[in-house]
Amino acid sequence: MSASLTHEQRLGSTGIALPAALPAFGQYVPAVLHGDQLWVGGHFGTRDDGSIHTGRCGEGVTTAEARAAARSAALNLVATVRDTLGSLDRVVRVAHVYGVVNATPEFVEHTSVHLGRRVGRMRADMTLNPRTATTAAPSRPTPAVTVQRSRRHRPPARRSSAQRGVGSA
């Protein structure tokens, strides 16, 4: 894949269609833009019918199903990034990836599950980042996988005074 492709072109070349960005839930927002950093909250995977992937790896959820949930969570997250920034082309770097796998103590395939979150092929310098993969063992039904990322982005291009409608009459 050519290094000269933009993120939007690269995503388009994969044939992947992003879902609509998930709405805010409760008193939380999916992302916060602060300066040149975009803080994206935890995202979960959804099925084609809109239901949330729930369950526990090692107890009714296979590694393949969890990988599918991680991929869906990542697509939902990327949709939020695009919705917040207006374009994926403003992304400069993925700073950190944090993921939680709802699993039994015996489940040991967390890394395999997290590899499911990869969407398309990005530049190597953008995808080499710190990653945290942990286990959660809640007592109530929860999403099978949660994914969170932080990104730096380019500021929007400055518009000229003519583009802003300012100037001599």
Q: What is the reported pTM?
A: 0.73
DSSP string, 68-124: HHHHHHHHHHHHHHHHHHS-GGGEEEEEEEEEEEEB-TT---HHHHHHTT--S---H
Q: What pLDDT sits at residue 157?
A: 73
What ranges do the domains of the chain cover? 33-155
Bridge partners of residue 43, in order along the sequence:
147
Q: What pLDDT sits at residue 150?
A: 61
Architecture of domain 33-155: 2-Layer Sandwich (3.30)
CB proximity list for 72: less than 8 A, separation 6 or greater: 45, 46, 47, 53
In this predicted structure, the answer to whether residue 60 has a pLDDT above a threshold of 50 is yes
**160: its two tokens:** 């000229």
pLDDT tens-digit series, residues 20-46:
998 888 888 899 998 888 988 888 889
Rounded distance between C-alpha atoms, residue 89 and residue 23, angstroms: 22
